[in-house]
Structure 1
Amino acid sequence: MCGQRRHPALSFLRLYSRRGAGDGHPGSGGRQLADTARAQGSPSSPATLKWCRAARRDKLFINTAGIGAIPADIRWGTQQISAGDVLLVSGTLGDHGATILNLREQMGLDGALSSDCAVLTPLIQTLRPLSGVKALRDATRGGVNAVAHEFAAASGCGIELQEATLPVNDTVRGVCELLGLDALNFANEGKLVLAVARDEAENVLAHLRSHALGRDAAIIGEVVVRPGVRSVGLYGVKRTLDLPHAEPLPRIC
C-alpha cells in the first residue's frame, strides 16, 4: 500500500487507488491497509481477493494499483539535473533491507532494527512550493546507489557521494560491517533521494528536517562533470560504485 502510493507521488500525481483486499477481512492486515489509505487521503475502492492452497502459499495476497494526474506546473525530472547540483536523502539508509535480512537469516538483532516503510505523499506534497527541487526518487530496490546511477545516466554527468555525511543507523552499519555489505545498496521503503540546485540545498534540507518523515535528512553528495558514480572517503579517496551483480536480498516488495 505504501509503495503503490509512493511511486505516483514522486511525480506529484494526485492518486486514485485500487487495491485487491477483500471486504471485511478479519485480520489486522486489513485494518492496517485501511488506516494507511485514510492517512494518505486518496480515494480508493476494493478490487479482488485471491486465496492459494496452504501448501503452496501462506496467508493472503494483496494487490494494489494506482493512477494519477500530473499538475501542469510540475517540472520535476531527471532531465533537469546538471553538474553542480546537490543530492539529499530524507533519512537513514538501509533500515528496511537490514531489518528483512535480520529476520530472514535469524541474526537475532532485536530492538534497534525496524523497517522504514511509510507513505511519503505527505512529505512530497510539502516540496511543491519550494524552488530548486529538480528530481526525486524513492530509494527502494538497489538503494541509494541505484538512484545515483539513474541520475548519472539521465544527466550525462557523474555523482559523488560523501561517506562522512551518509546517515546510517548504528545497527544497520554493524550489519553491513559484519557481512561485508554496503548500506548504499540496501532497500528502503520510506526514503527519498533528491537532486536540488546548490543555492537552494540548505533551504530544502531545513524543510525536510521540519517534517516527521525527514527529520534525519542530510546532504549526501553532488553532481559532477566527470561521468560515473563514486563515493568519497574521509581522506578524500574516491572509489567507484558499481551496481551490484545481485541484490543483498531477493526481491522484497
Structure 2
Amino acid sequence: MKKAYIRPLDLRHGTVDLSHGGGGRAMVQLIGEIFGRAFDNEWLRRGDDGAVLPAPRPGERLVVATDAHVVSPLFFPGGDIGCLCVHGTLNDVAVMGARPLYLAASFILEEGFPLADLQRIVASMAAAAKEAGVPVVTGDTKVVEKGKGDGIFITTTGIGALPVGRELSGANARPGDAVIVSGTLGDHGMAIMAQRENLAFESEIRSDTAALHGLIAELLAAVPQTRVLRDPTRGGLAATLNEIAQQSGVGIVLDEAAIPVDPQVAAACEFLGLDPLNIANEGKLIAICPAQFADALLAALRAHPLGTRAARIGEVTVDAQHFVQMKTAFGGRRMVDWLAGEQLPRIC
C-alpha cells in the first residue's frame, strides 16, 4: 500500500492546533519536524517513551534536578525561554558538584501558538544543549485550548553524575568562610523587566543566562575544599543567602561596596524601586569556601570567561538568629531579608 502524503508543516505562518497534542499523525509530524530534527541523537531517535542511557563511571552517584519555565516575554535581550530552560536545569545539576549528562524536556503548547516561534525556541534549546555537550534524550508534548495557557511552558529535567567524596550542600557553610559571587548581579531579571516596561538605557541590559558547569568544573579542580555552590535565581542573592544561613545554622555579613552590580542594572532598579539583591540571575553562582582558599577560588573564577567580575562579598559568622546582614557604604548595617511576595513574576 502506498504511504499517505503528509504536507510539511508551515513553519512560517502555521500555528499549533489541538491535533498537535492528540497523539495522532499531526502530533507525530510536529515532534518529528521540530523536536526530532533539533534534538536529534541516538537515544531520542529510538522513539521510545523513555531513554535507556549509559551508566556513569563506577562509584559515581546520580543527581537529578527539574525546573519549569514560564518566562514572559519569551524572547529577551541575551536569550529566550529555550536557552534559559537548558541553562537553568544544567546549573541546578552543576551546583551540586555533578557532571551534567542528559536532559529531558516537556512542552505545554497553547492552541494558536506560531510554529515559527516554536521552531525558534526549540532551535535555541538545541544550540544551548549542543554547546553544553548535554543531549536532550526524551520528552513530551501537550497542547491546551486557546486561552488555557500562555503560548508555551517548558519543563526540563537534568541528570548528572556526582564523583565519589564530593559533598556540596547549603548546610555546609561554617563561621569564618568566605562568600564569593562569580559576577554582576541582577542582569537577567532587569533584562526581562526593561523589556516589559519598554525602558531605554544608553546600553542594553542583557540577560546573563549561561551554562555554568564548565566554570564549576574549573573552580572545583582549583579548590576542592569548596563547601557550598548555589545559583541565585528567583529571589536573587538575598533569598539564596538566607536559605544557606538557615540550612547551615549560621549568619552571613556582606560588604555592600564589594557587591558587583552593572551601572545600567543599578539605574533600572533605582527607577523601578527594586533592590538588585532580590533580582534573579541565570548565569551567576555563589561559592562559599574556607577563607584560606578564597584567593585561589577567585583566581579560578576570574580565569574563566563567565567569572571575570567575580568578587569576595562577605563572610559567614556565628549568629544564633541566622541573619544575613549588610555593612553599608555609610558604615552602618541593615538586614538583607527574604523577599516578601513575588517581586518579579514570570522571569524564569
The TM-score normalised by the length of structure 2 is 0.68
CA contact (8 A) 2:97 2:167 kept: no
CA contact (8 A) 2:239 2:337 kept: no
* 1:30/1:101 CA distance change after superposition, 3 Å: same
**In structure 2, what residue type is equivalent to 1:2?**
H
Aligned match of 1:79: 171
Could you say what secondary structure the match of 2:154 adopts? coil
Please report how far the alpha carbon of residue 64 of structure 1 lies from its aligned counterpart in structure 2 after TM superposition: 1.5
- Taking the aligned partners of 1:108 and 1:122, their CA distance within structure 2 comes to 33
* 1:121/1:57 CA distance change after superposition, 3 Å: same
Aligned match of 1:47: 139
CA contact (8 A) 1:157 1:223 kept: yes
Residue of 221, 227, 232 corresponding to 2:327: 232
- Taking the aligned partners of 1:143 and 1:14, their CA distance within structure 2 comes to 24
Could you say what secondary structure the match of 1:112 adopts? coil
Alignment partner of 1:11 is 2:96: yes
Structure 2's unaligned 5+ residue stretches are: 1-85, 109-116
Please report how far the alpha carbon of residue 169 of structure 1 lies from its aligned counterpart in structure 2 after TM superposition: 0.5
Please report how far the alpha carbon of residue 215 of structure 1 lies from its aligned counterpart in structure 2 after TM superposition: 0.8
How many residues align? The count is: 252
Aligned match of 1:179: 272
CA contact (8 A) 1:21 1:46 kept: no
Could you say what secondary structure the match of 2:343 adopts? coil
Please report how far the alpha carbon of residue 49 of structure 1 lies from its aligned counterpart in structure 2 after TM superposition: 2.1
Please report how far the alpha carbon of residue 127 of structure 1 lies from its aligned counterpart in structure 2 after TM superposition: 2.0
- Taking the aligned partners of 2:253 and 2:104, their CA distance within structure 1 comes to 39
- Taking the aligned partners of 1:194 and 1:146, their CA distance within structure 2 comes to 15
Alignment partner of 1:124 is 2:216: yes
After the TM superposition, which residues 121-200 of structure 1 pair with which residues of structure 2 at under 5 Å, given as runs?
121-129=213-221, 130-200=223-293
**In structure 2, what residue type is equivalent to 1:98?**
M
Please report how far the alpha carbon of residue 200 of structure 1 lies from its aligned counterpart in structure 2 after TM superposition: 0.6
Rg larger in structure: 2
**In structure 1, what residue type is equivalent to 2:176?**
G
- Taking the aligned partners of 1:165 and 1:247, their CA distance within structure 2 comes to 27
- Taking the aligned partners of 1:84 and 1:150, their CA distance within structure 2 comes to 18
**In structure 2, what residue type is equivalent to 1:34?**
A
Aligned match of 1:221: 314
Could you say what secondary structure the match of 2:242 adopts? helix
Please report how far the alpha carbon of residue 241 of structure 1 lies from its aligned counterpart in structure 2 after TM superposition: 1.5
Bigger shift: 43-52 or 8-17? 43-52
**In structure 1, what residue type is equivalent to 2:134?**
S
Q: CA RMSD in A?
A: 2.1
- Taking the aligned partners of 1:173 and 1:117, their CA distance within structure 2 comes to 18
Please report how far the alpha carbon of residue 42 of structure 1 lies from its aligned counterpart in structure 2 after TM superposition: 2.1
- Taking the aligned partners of 2:160 and 2:94, their CA distance within structure 1 comes to 8
Alignment partner of 1:28 is 2:28: no
The TM-score normalised by the length of structure 1 is 0.92
- CA deviations on 1:136-163 (whole Å, 9 max, x unpaired) are 1000011000111012112211111111
- Taking the aligned partners of 1:156 and 1:61, their CA distance within structure 2 comes to 36
Structure 1's unaligned 5+ residue stretches are: none
- Taking the aligned partners of 1:57 and 1:161, their CA distance within structure 2 comes to 41
**In structure 1, what residue type is equivalent to 2:317?**
V
Bigger shift: 166-175 or 6-15? 6-15
CA contact (8 A) 1:131 1:200 kept: no
- Taking the aligned partners of 1:142 and 1:26, their CA distance within structure 2 comes to 29
Could you say what secondary structure the match of 1:48 adopts? strand
Q: Which of structures 1 and 2 has the larger relative contact order (alpha carbons within 8 angstroms, sep 6+)?
A: 1
CA contact (8 A) 2:98 2:162 kept: yes
